[in-house]
Amino acid sequence: MSIEFKLQALKENVEIVEVNAIKVNVGDIVTKDQPLVEVQADKAALEVPSPAAGKISQILIKQGDQVKIGQLIFVIDPAGAGAGAAAASSSPPPVPQKTPVAASAPAPAAVPVATATATKTAPIVLAHDDNKVIPAGPSTRRIARELGVDLGHVPGTGRHGRVSEDDVRSFVRGSGSNGSSGGSISVPPLPRFEDFGTVERQPMSAIRRATARQMSLSWSIVPHVTQSDLSDITDFEAFRKSQTKGPKLTISAFAMKAVVVLLKEYPVFNSSIDVAGNQIIHKKFYNIGVAVDTENGLLVPVIRDVDKKSIAELAEELTSIAERARQRKLDSKDLTGGTFTITNLGGIGGTGFTPIVNYPEVAILGISRGRLEPVVHNGEIVPRLMMPLSLSYDHRVIDGAIAARFTRRLAEMLENPYQLLIHA
């Protein structure tokens, strides 16, 4: 009897994945746990193994498809495993068959947004029956703890009333807690754009959906403020370009090292807020996320233990992890555990911007392109290469004065790169 292989849940609260690559063809003999397909689940690329040995008799997906959990993706003939082995020793290779391709999975129906049961003036943390089992995964429970939400009062929109991360966020927004606007925002339906002209509808990729969720969460929870400054990197650039041996020393690599020095001087920037416990969690490790622009969307791989690595080592690791990001070769470990984030748009342009804090972090540094400007230097007006710095931070835990000191110290460290040798 053939085995109908339906896509199983691969990651908490991920209901749809995108097919990156199909690793087998119809007629292939596969072993149990052999990777059959690579999918994009949120921002991590995952391989899906075969549930049994056998012969692939049908492939019902194709590269680029949006596939829902529980959707039929392969049909496997378990009898084909032994028969295939015997045939291989006595018969010529089979004639390749044309792979039947199923139509792309229909776009998922819009999930109804949960409405909060609490009023605007009621607190989020409410008593409930401790014996009641709340259907929710570990990551949902973690976010609920961070936001001080009692899951017993969050309406679940998943199967069998399962509570998702989005349900928790909707509940927080509707309850006016944790820095939200103070009321549920009703999103009006879009007009029918086809009535006005030709349109093209493109499904959001897994990475784009994950980015949208994270940015919505960060923006709805964190009261953002951005502190800007300029760094005179004329001497820094001369020093950086003079280092021709070893890996290419990028501005991001120097910035990572400088940021870690400042995170030790101003530890509040390396913290998170525990709303439920009324605590600030100061982290004693230094993992820096670096935003990477890819064809599929924004990824933020994390480089660990930056304080224990040289600038050359950071430059080499940054090049490697950015390349893996562009090739969709990052796993969940590469994308988690960050304590501070850097996003560098200097290679593109701009004179400044407001980066969004990567929650549950409390700050993010934006770097823009340096440009020559007339500056008073040693009593004379001379052209100097000035680089804009933009530090966005969570105003619940960071005040403007300390943010200004942070950016000024960072600007000074980049103006005189020899300062970093003291902390290397």
CA 142 to centroid of chain Cα atoms = 17
Q: Do the strands 29-30 and 54-59 form a parallel or antiparallel pair, or are they unpaired?
A: antiparallel
Q: What CA–CA distances, in Å, run from 52 to 23, 43, 212, 247, 296? A: 16, 28, 36, 45, 32
- What are residue 256's phi and psi, to 5 degrees? -60, -45
CB within 8 Å of 114: residues ≥ 6 apart: 154, 155, 156, 157, 167, 170, 171
128 is catalytic: no
Q: What CA–CA distances, in Å, run from 155 to 43, 144, 152, 187, 188? A: 27, 13, 8, 19, 21
Given 160, 282, 377, 395, the catalytic residue: 395
d(CA 193, CA 325): 35
Q: Please count the other Cβ atoms lying within 10 Å of the Cβ belonging to residue 86.
A: 9
- What are residue 107's phi and psi, to 5 degrees? -60, 135
d(CA 320, CA 235): 27
Q: What CA–CA distances, in Å, run from 89 to 31, 86, 297? A: 18, 6, 47
Specify whether the CB–CB gap between 386 and 414 falls below 8 A.
no
Specify whether the CB–CB gap between 324 and 334 falls below 8 A.
yes
d(CA 259, CA 288): 9
Q: What's at 45, amino acid-wise?
A: A
d(CA 149, CA 171): 8
Catalytic positions: 395
